[in-house]
Chains A and B, each alone.
Chain A
């Protein structure tokens, strides 16, 4: 029982990170109808930018952890958003009216470009970050097993909840959110009521990238290491989460993220840690076969 609760906490933490990345996949799919395969690498870039920002802050002598965390969060969100915007601008927008597969291929290319760019610029070795957030709480103990909730897990979960709340409000209540939903339903018609579709799509990429960079920062704090290749696996898992939740659905992406996090953690805890990725991707296959629209997705209606 204690062991299970501990795995539950670990799974939700991991799932929050996947969920934040999955939002980017599902949002872009909803509006443009393409899978942005470079999104995982945007997450990786976000983690690297956070690491660099930490080192710069330390060099400047700012060592108060909460303040440093806050500055790093803002800096890496802003810079990663710029990456997201640029990727859309140079790799997808010129192909918007091309055949359907073109932006997808371009996305795979962009993913390889980003990976190699970081590998060349930052080196291929794993970059460590000494643990910044220490401590935690022991929730309860029993059977020689203490269930612990560390401060870093609290930070991850609370940040995720806060971002999700803000983001849901943005989509549901603001002008930008309405424009995004209108674009999702009918791009042409959205333009005809005066929505600047290109700008809305750009902002979608910017927001997706900013959320991914938060996930990158969380990943960096949680695991303490980054390398140029983390984007691939995290990206594909977040994509699995988006598919599981129903691609195009925002709450679906979040729920899917948490579920994938839980499945992976539980599998590692009770079966074998080597095969945790197999478990996550088996889910992808099972969902695609038996539940192609995911948990909260709408079936695609062919327009006649």
Chain B
């Protein structure tokens, strides 16, 4: 077992009277793929929104630690600081690219840490200072590297909105990776992909974990994908974690089966009789 990268402690998110996430504690480990599954409305995306700063949780703590020992309390940080300093990146259920910008620009805009050295230099950049040009070249190199990884290198200068759906999803992951994340949160990355595409996605995500050492937290409904690539699965239902463990254990957990398939009438009768 590796060290935890994200510790969610007693997280509760209420919207008025609705409790979307209820006292949830979860550990995401470094260099592992952790899957978050559960029926619709279980609170998976709400948890993502808390991690990435869209929502401020009602109660609880989100502790993210880097391998160099730095740690961040995500619930206290602004969105852009979570992305830039704590290095959490995410994608969305519905793709959110900068549709009017080119593929290359989509990846450049995400590279704050590379271009940070040049951040005060917008004016200098205008006049072509060498430091800025060098940082810019490094950023372009990395962007091209990731375009290559997702197989979109030859479309670098097309507007992102012109790509087919599957390619847009890949580009979104590439853009997230350009922020050099410690934790990559993927919200249903396989949704709408065909079998071949989702097999490619599996290979790609494993490569991100193994080669780049990025921890991945993903929400997914495609059980084929989940069971195949996850090191660890957490199951949510009505905002509560009902199971947590290795894929094989979770698959046979009666509570998980009940949450997904429902419970037969006689079992309810049995349960009531035993009360």
Contacts and interface: CB of A to CB of B under 8 A. Distances in A.
Prevailing SS type, chain A contact patch: helix
Sorting the interface of chain B by its residue count into under 10, 10 to 19, 20 to 34 or 35 or more gives 20 to 34
Most-contacted residue by chain A among B79, B89, B119 (CB, 10 A): B79
Contacts of B255: none
Given A175-B125, A197-B80, A186 B109 contact: no
Contacts of A197: 80
A191 B125 contact: no
B98 A170 contact: no
B116 to A, nearest CB: 9
B118 to A, nearest CB: 7
A178 interface: yes
Interface string B82-122: 01100001100000101111000100111011010011001
B100 A175 contact: no
A68 B164 CA distance: 56
Contact of B126 (A170, A188, A191, A195): A170
B175 interface: yes
A178 B101 CA distance: 9
A121 interface: no
Given A192-B83, A195-B112, A196-B80, A174 B98 contact: no
Contacts of A196: 80, 84
A166 interface: yes
A138 to B, nearest CB: 37
A176 interface: yes
Given A193-B83, A195-B112, A185 B98 contact: yes
A188 B54 contact: yes
- Please indicate which of the listed interface residues A173, A176, A189 has the most CB atoms of chain B within 10 Å of its own CB: A189
A174 B112 contact: no
A179 interface: yes
Interface in A136-192: 166, 169-170, 173-176, 178-179, 181-182, 185-186, 188-192
A173 B132 CA distance: 12
Given A170-B126, A176-B122, A193 B89 contact: yes
Contacts of B215: none
A123 B227 CA distance: 76
Contact of B108 (A170, A178, A188, A191): A178
B89 A182 contact: no
A186 B96 CA distance: 8
A174 B175 contact: no
Contacts of A185: 98-101
B45 interface: no
Contacts of B118: 175
A94 interface: no
Interface string B187-199: 0000000000000
A194 interface: yes
A189 B98 contact: yes
A177 to B, nearest CB: 8
Given A185-B99, A186-B96, A178 B79 contact: no
B190 to A, nearest CB: 21
A182 B160 CA distance: 12
Contacts of B108: 178
Contact of B100 (A181, A188, A191): A181
A192 B112 contact: no
B126 A169 contact: yes
A194 B122 contact: no
Nearest to A166: B126
B168 interface: no
Interface in A64-112: none
A174 B101 contact: no
A246 to B, nearest CB: 14
A192 B115 contact: no
List 5 A-B pairs, minimum CB-CB distance, nearest first.
A194-B84, A194-B83, A191-B79, A194-B112, A193-B110
Interface of B: 52-54, 78-80, 83-84, 89-90, 96, 98-101, 105, 108-110, 112-113, 115, 118-119, 122, 125-126, 136, 175-176, 178-179
5 contacts: A182-B98, A185-B99, A185-B101, A189-B98, A194-B80
Given A188-B79, A189-B96, A193-B179, 17 more contacts: A173-B125, A175-B115, A175-B136, A176-B122, A181-B105, A182-B101, A188-B54, A189-B98, A190-B80, A191-B83, A192-B52, A193-B83, A193-B112, A193-B175, A193-B176, A194-B80, A195-B80
